Amino acid sequence: MTLHATAPDTWILLRGLLRESGHWGSFVPRLEAALAPARVLALDAPGCGAWYAQRSPASIAEGVQALRAELLQRGIPPPYYLLALSMGGMLAAYWSQHYPQEVAAQVWINTSMRPFSGLSERLQPRNYGRLAGLLLPSTTAQTRETTLWQLTSRLSDSGVVADWLALHRVHPVSSANALRQLWAAARFRAQPTPPACPTLLLASTQDALVNVACSRAIAAAWKLPLHEHPSAGHDLPLDDGRWVVAQLQRWHKGCGPHPSSHAFVIALKHARHIRQ
């Protein structure tokens, strides 16, 4: 009798507004070491990272189709484990609710979405002026990245800004793409029923950008597990990646196997968003 080895899990990492795969930084190798032999892939949405010259989709649905098409092109079949930060959680929510056979389990970090929270919780009002300033043509890259660091991290060392500036120089996100991403996030509304796959919420109690009430509302409505970090900022993997990995490892042990989707390749052969 021939024994077939089980393929390692595939973890897909999804970032948020104006961010790219490079912003995961040292968290990716940390996660790879913790989940070995699992495969860890940080993807860029259209308009960000390697795809910065493309037009960002004006809807979360289009963004998910682009990500699925990229995985098809790369020959990486489901099921996937999704790890999503901020707006990435909206992508994960749509993915898991509309293509449940493709998502084995998922972790959402400091995310928010309708109908669970309103605008004043999803983006805390004291930041409206600073966020609007990021879209002005006169705003320098230094100012933008410094502002984003101040809004998303509680680290005292600002050395990360230099790394972010280096990413911006290679993959600058246009103001037009930033506006389309904002529009997509503002319009997204999750389906009323929770995802069928195991879903874990991680949140920062001291998040200065997105009120922790957003994660609490999702957890309460869908009866999902939620673990809160007492001191980290919005970019939880940056501020305390070790804590995120520890939470993920404990939770992941309880996630059972998930059947792969044979319909995935057939459906995506007709996808209109395959990147050239």
**The pLDDT value given to residue 255:** 65
Sequence-ordered list of residues with C-beta below 8 angstroms from that of 87, at least 6 positions apart, any chain: 15, 16, 17, 111, 181, 185
Structure tokens at 155: 């680290």
In this prediction, the residues of the chain whose per-residue pLDDT falls under 70 are 1-5, 255-276
**Model confidence pLDDT, tens digit, residues 106-152:** 999 999 999 999 888 998 999 999 988 988 888 999 999 999 999 99
Structural domains of the chain, with CATH: 10-268 (3.40.50.1820)
**The pLDDT value given to residue 253:** 77
CB neighbour class for 140 (10 Å; exposed up to 12, middle 13-18, buried from 19): exposed
Give pTM, 2 decimals: 0.89
The rounded distance, in Å, linking the Cα atoms of 210 and 173 is 22
Residues 22 and 49: beta-carbon distance below 8 Å? yes
